[in-house]
Amino acid sequence: MCGIIGGWTPRPLPNAALETALTAITHRGPDDSGTHRDAEAFIGMRRLSIIDLAGGHQPIFNEDRTVAVVFNGEIYNYKELIPPLKRAGHRFTTESDTEVLVHLWEEHGTDMCRPLRGMFAFAIWDARQQLLFVARDRFGKKPLYLTETRDGGLLFASELKALRPLAHAAGQRWTVRPQALYDYASLSFIPQPRTVYNEVRMLPAGCWMLWNGASLREASYWDPPLTPKTSLSYDAAQARVREILADAVRLRLRSDVPLGVFLSGGVDSTVIAYEASRVVGDQLQAFTVSTGDPRLDESAVAQRTAAALGIRQTLLRLEVSPLEELQRLVRQYDQPFADSSAIPSLALSRLARQHVTVVLNGDGGDELFAGYRRYVAATWLDRLRWIPAPWRRAAVQLIDRLAPPHRSPAAMARRLLHGTLQRPGARYLAWTANTLFKEDMPAWWLGPPHMRPTEDWIETLLPQGVSALDTQLGGDHWIILLSDLLVKMDIATMAASLEARSPLLDHVLAEFAVTLPDHYRVRRGQPKAILRDAYRGRIPTEVTEAPKRGFEVPMIRWLDHDLKPLLMDTVGSPSARVRDWFSGRQLDALIDGSALQDRNRAYLLYSMLVLELWLRQEEADALNPSGSP
């Protein structure tokens, strides 16, 4: 696991800019660093040593040193890829997974990503062909930011804080993109592949790009088809899920450093711990977080699970200082990011790093196997469309007059019925977002006019001609998972120099999961049915039968106490930067509680606080783009 930088510029960048960029991402790779220059091209990296601790120094070269690679991530099936490359005549000088990349490039060129099972962002410089090849893994677990300079150059880095000094040295200045802030108000994060800056974007997940010094070629190498659906019986499909997942976990247990697993009281992390324990046995280290809040704490369930699986468990007592963690979050995440679970994720990663260097987690189970309540609603959507639209509107109006609490059954019924009356993009936003929706935005937005409605571009990402469940899952894959959940995990763990591996996001498993019929994933009103049933009797019943619980924080209490002084001094101030973009009158009403009582007020207030802190940090960074002390 590493952080990488690189690019091609007509005029060589000073060494000081490269050093500053690499220093900015030391947390991603505290163990080693390296750079390589050739003519107008350069690549560099910071390394967190996981595989081949002694021999994995990067950049790594081919036999005649004409091809070099820097790599962020892990290729889990590298051992299986080495024998055919050796039979083709390639010689290996290390035991590192990184070295397979240079030889795959020599053998397969731009098709080299197809056999890879892993998480990765890497750059290859081919001196013979004078080509720069850059690729990103299928789910976008590892980030890669890009910018094209005014003098015809290309620059990239694993984080914006590393890209900024390179861009500054190339004479580039960044400007905030209004559409990004508009979308942030609805989503609480910046959707990829665009960023908060006009001048910077991300290489899309599952894509590669090829740069020859004059032109850029970009292509996608993965987009799993949602049809046809499998003909396997429900029992056979369960067996296939277990088979693929067991293999995915086995591959992700490869490590030359201490490794553990995050274990909560939920299904996803428990099945990962179960499969890992079958390989490692009682030597497996499980880490469980204890929050001390009985409403949110799952540690008792996890402790019983660890005992049932016969694995060692370490209880990590999470004591979070909301003020300190929020300020750390704004610095670490580089863009406005208001998923509040990032706060405990940062703290948990630091605790786990005291014990291990690598952790397995249960990320992706909900998005692959339909684990949220909105997926149950989606299965009802197609059935309810036969009811005449006027009847559905009347039902919504009746429930509105009852003023149901936000999370009550009546409120859920209202959202479901209202969803049948909406376009797919608007429905997706209403069912998924915790902050502003379309009808609220005109009263809030003060920025430039003619913003593209968030729900309009969301609609372009949603799969067409499939069930409502596949539509919702497809949106969550390319929006929530990509730009929220995976960003949260990557930044939180890398900030602590901790590598997180997600077996449930193995692409082979994903390619099978998308072929599952709706009634395999949501069964008799039970979300994530096939994964629960596949492990029923293998993991404790109290886990398979438990409702979905998120990694939540007491945000209302924090805003009323721990964060209240900061909130009033920033968002509550007449000189707040956020008031240049959003209505001060609405913000004041939000703070005093007279606005949006039924629209997740705490989450919107928190997102505005994060944005204000980010805007202030951006002012400071813009004044010091070179990163100098």
Model confidence pLDDT, tens digit, residues 10-29: 999 999 999 999 999 999 98
Lowest mean pLDDT among 202-211, 243-252, 253-262, 275-284: 253-262
Angle, helix 424-432 to helix 468-475, in steps of 10 degrees: 60
Q: What is the model's pLDDT at position 599?
A: 55
Average pLDDT over residues 601-613: 94
C-alpha span between 38 and 274 (Å, rounded)? 48
3 state SS for 154-167: EEEECCHHHHHHHH
User: What average pLDDT score do residues 479-483 get?
Assistant: 96
pLDDT digits (tens, 9 = 90+) for 501-527: 999 999 999 999 999 999 999 999 899
Report whether pLDDT(562) > 70. yes
Amino acid identity of residue 475, one-letter, is G
Name the more confident of 622 and 18: 18
Name the more confident of 48 and 466.
Answer: 466
User: What pLDDT is stored for residue 403 in this prediction?
Assistant: 59
Provide the pLDDT for residue 318. 79
596 pLDDT tier (thresholds 50, 70, 90):
low
pLDDT category of residue 627 using cuts at 50, 70 and 90: low
**CB neighbour list of residue 186: distance below 8 Å, 6 or more residues apart:** 429, 433, 435, 436, 437, 438, 441, 454
Do the Cβ atoms of 7 and 133 come closer than 8 Å?
Answer: no
pLDDT of residue 2: 84
CATH 3.60.20.10 spans which residues of the chain? Answer: 2-185+196-220
Question: Which residues are 126's β-sheet partners?
Answer: 67, 131
Comparing 253-257, 328-332, 426-430, the range with the smallest average pLDDT is 253-257
- pLDDT recorded at residue 405: 61
Q: What kind of fold does domain 2-185+196-220 have according to CATH? A: Glutamine Phosphoribosylpyrophosphate, subunit 1, domain 1 (3.60.20)
Surface-to-core class of residue 407, CB atoms within 10 Å of its CB (0-12 exposed, 13-18 middle, 19+ buried): exposed
Least confident piece of the model among 388-402, 454-468, 552-566: 388-402
- Compute the C-alpha angle 204/147/22, nearest 5°: 95
Residues of the chain above pLDDT 90, percent: 71
Q: Is the pLDDT of residue 598 over 60?
A: no
Residue 100 contacts by C-beta under 8 Å, 6 or more apart in sequence? 75, 78, 81, 82, 85
104 vs 111: CA distance, rounded Å: 9
CB neighbour class for 14 (10 Å; exposed up to 12, middle 13-18, buried from 19): exposed
Instruction: Provide the mean pLDDT of the chain.
Output: 91
Token digits for 582? 């959003």
C-alpha 197/C-alpha 595 separation (Å) is 30
**Secondary structure (3-state) at 208:** strand
pLDDT bracket for residue 56 (50, 70, 90): low
Nearest CA to 179 out of 476, 522, 401, 451 is that of 451
Query: Taking 60 as the threshold, does the pLDDT of residue 629 lie above it?
Result: no
The CATH number given to 234-370+473-544 is: 3.40.50.620
Say yes or no to pLDDT of 589 above 70. Answer: yes
Q: Is the pLDDT of residue 404 over 70?
A: no
What phi and psi values does residue 300 have, to the nearest 5 degrees?
-65, -45
pLDDT score of 54 more than 60:
no
> Is the CB of residue 35 less than 8 Å from the CB of residue 43?
yes
3-state secondary structure 508-523: HHHHHHCCCCHHHHCE
Q: Which helix (H) or strand (E) holds 312?
A: strand 312-317
Give the whole-number percent of the chain exceeding pLDDT 70: 94
Q: Please say if the pLDDT value at position 547 is more than 80.
A: no
> What are residue 34's DSSP bridge partners?
45
Range in 499-503, 536-540, 558-562 the model is least confident about: 558-562
In the predicted model, is pLDDT for residue 578 greater than 70? yes
pLDDT at 86 over 60: yes
Give the whole-angstrom CA distance, residue 517 versus residue 497: 40
Q: Where does the chain hold its CATH 3.40.50.620 domain(s)? A: 234-370+473-544
pLDDT class for 597, splitting at 50, 70, 90?
low
pTM of the model: 0.94
Sheet holding 499-501, edge to edge: 312-317, 285-290, 259-262, 358-360, 499-501
Q: How far is 510 from 369, CA to CA, in rounded Å?
A: 9
Give residue 175's identity as a one-letter amino acid code.
Answer: T
Residue 432's pLDDT band (cuts 50, 70, 90): confident
The three-class DSSP label of residue 55 is: coil
Measured between alpha carbons, how far is 157 from 172 in angstroms, rounded to an integer?
A: 15
For 453, residues 6+ apart whose C-beta sits below 8 A from its C-beta are 438, 441
| Pairing relationship of beta strands 32-38 and 2-8 according to DSSP bridges | unpaired
